[in-house]
Amino acid sequence: MSTFSKLEIDLRQMIIAIETAVSLVGMNDTNHGKRVGYIASQLGYQLGFNDQAIQFSFDLGLLHDCGVSTEQMHSHLVNQFDWCDAHIHCGIGYRLLKDFEPLSGFAIPILYHHTPWEKLNRLDVSIQDTRMANLIFLADRVDVLAAGHYETDILLAREEIVKSVTNYKGTYFDPEIVNAFHQVEKSEAFWIALQDRHITRYTWDMSQFESSKLLSISQLKQLSLILAYIVDQKSPFTAQHSVGVASLARYIASSLGLLSEQCEKIEIAGLLHDLGKLHIPDHILGKPGPLSDIERAIMNQHSYETYEILRHIKGLEDIACWAAFHHEGLNGVGYPFHPHQKELSIESRIIAVADIFQALVQDRPYRSGMPLNKVIDILDEFASSGKLDQNIVDHAKKHGEECFEIAKGNS
Ligand SMILES: [Fe+2]
Ligand SMILES: [Fe+2]
Ligand SMILES: [Fe+2]
């Protein structure tokens, strides 16, 4: 009797994984969401929130930038106090979460987390959502002002930061939240805790508290679709890639006769396999030509990043491996783990075939999508060199037309 359908994943661990993934877009600063969550929860504590609301404000901080996939958008948001296009990522984040019940409560505050308080007050938004949205707005802007100072002179820079925030009291920010900030910021500990070493430790500690919500396998799939969308929209050339790999891997798995729960998990691994690409600079992903050695060296780190995001989630250990092994070859040629052949499960082998298949049919910046016969030739070559599993490649060839349409996103 299979235990697959009993798979249940802790929602808190998934929220932290979403933040870890989305924060990778920050390149050399990957703690923005964690710091905003921390600042918001400290303000919540000062404002007398109950435990549940404090937890909500922390989680909201972790999730608030889930609409940011590109390095370019990230840099506008963290380098400009008042960027005119800030509303775009608020709308994307809102649309991503609004229909996913376990996280839908975060959608409205995310939609308004860059809306000035005086304007938000006049909209038809509940007091609770207004407060949460404005709490994140203030926490987010404090982090933007403080970002360059954490590891050095933060205890000196805080005075200027407080002045800047106070200038917007009653216009951008709820006066009550600004007052709470004045109380909280008095303690040096508040600022020191925001340094990289401390904030990662704090977030790790928070992940140890199990949330009261568990995700079923179908909810996990829904959430994985959201994450796949975040990755796929990073570049027009990878649009639909994760979704295409997932559908193709599922099709191959089920036509090979694997159990339906196993197919479901393979599809989830396919959706998540390129999460680590969020850490690849936009110009490398969109480069209209072959990558240089240094660009290739950066690119080849992405499947390790995928593993690092997923491996901490209890119950997701096998999916983490299947996803992270998608560039490994049976012959040891591949990256980055070089597992022994016997450690490359059938699930990993299927995803490796689906990944190459989908990538070949898709237009890339330096070439257009290939026709089926060319895809088959290349897969055959990989199979005969021992990189891909011959049986799976033969199976994909046998069902070539179907695989091609699925990889193209046509069925
Ligand atoms: Fe932000
Ligand atoms: Fe990949
Ligand atoms: Fe991929």
The verdict on 155 and 243 lying in the same domain is: no
What does the block give as tokens for 132? 């949460």
Q: Tell me the CA–centroid distance for residue 239 and ligand 3, in Å.
A: 11
Q: In this prediction, what percent of the chain has a pLDDT beyond 90?
A: 81
Active-site entry in 169, 265, 277, 287: 277
Tell whether 262 and 169 lie within a shared domain: no
Which tens digits make up the pLDDT trace of 249-259?
999 999 999 99
- pLDDT for the residue 1: 41
- Residue 327 CA: which ligand is closest? 2
Q: Is residue 262 located within the same domain as residue 202?
A: no
**Same domain? 249 vs 203:** no
Same domain (yes/no): 293, 368: yes
Q: What is the CATH classification number for the domain harbouring 318? A: 1.10.3210.10
103 & 41 share domain: yes
Per-residue pLDDT reduced to its tens digit, 168-196: 999 999 999 999 999 999 999 999 999 99
Q: In the structure encoding, which two tokens stand for residue 394, read together?
A: 């033969």
Does 183 map to a domain? yes
What are the tens digits of pLDDT across the range 299-319?
999 999 999 999 989 999 999
* Residue 2: per-residue pLDDT: 45
Residues 203 and 86 in one domain: yes
Q: What's the pLDDT tens digit per position in 194-211?
A: 999 999 999 988 887 777
- Within a domain: 24: no
pLDDT, one tens digit per residue, over 17-64 is: 999 999 888 777 889 999 999 999 999 999 999 999 999 999 999 999
Domains identified in the chain, total number: 2
Instruction: State both tokens at 301.
Output: 């780190």
Residue 228's closest CA among 60, 409, 402, 374? Answer: 409
Give the pLDDT confidence score for residue 5 in this predicted structure.
53
Centre of ligand 3 to C-alpha 242, Å, is: 6
Ligand nearest to the CA of 245: 3
Domain that holds residue 235: 218-408
In this structure, the answer to whether residues 182 and 224 fall within a common structural domain is no
Q: Where are the alpha helices (DSSP H) in 80-126?
A: 87-97, 107-111, 117-120
Q: Note the ligand closest to the C-alpha atom of 147.
A: 1
Instruction: Based on the residue annotation, tell me whether 265 is a catalytic residue of this protein.
Output: no
Q: Is the pTM of this model over 0.75?
A: yes
Helical residues (DSSP H) of 24-70, grouped into ranges: 32-46, 51-63
> What are the backbone dihedrals phi and psi of residue 9, each rounded to the nearest 5 degrees, phi first?
-120, 135
Residue 82 confidence (pLDDT): 84
As a whole number of angstroms, the longest Cα–Cα distance in the chain is 69
Query: Same domain, yes or no, for 248 and 106?
Result: no
CA of 65 to the centre of ligand 1 (A): 5
Query: pLDDT tens across 148-165, in order?
Result: 999 999 999 999 999 999
Are residue 186 and residue 41 in the same domain, yes or no? yes
> How many angstroms does the Cα of residue 139 sit away from the middle of ligand 1?
9
Domain boundary among 172, 207, 242: 207
Q: What is the CA(273)–ligand 2 centre distance, in A? A: 7
**Number of H helices and number of E strands within the chain?**
23, 2
CA distance 57 to 139: 10
Domain boundary among 207, 240, 266: 207
Residues 197 and 225 in one domain: no
- Is residue 268 domain-shared with residue 340, that is, in the same domain? yes
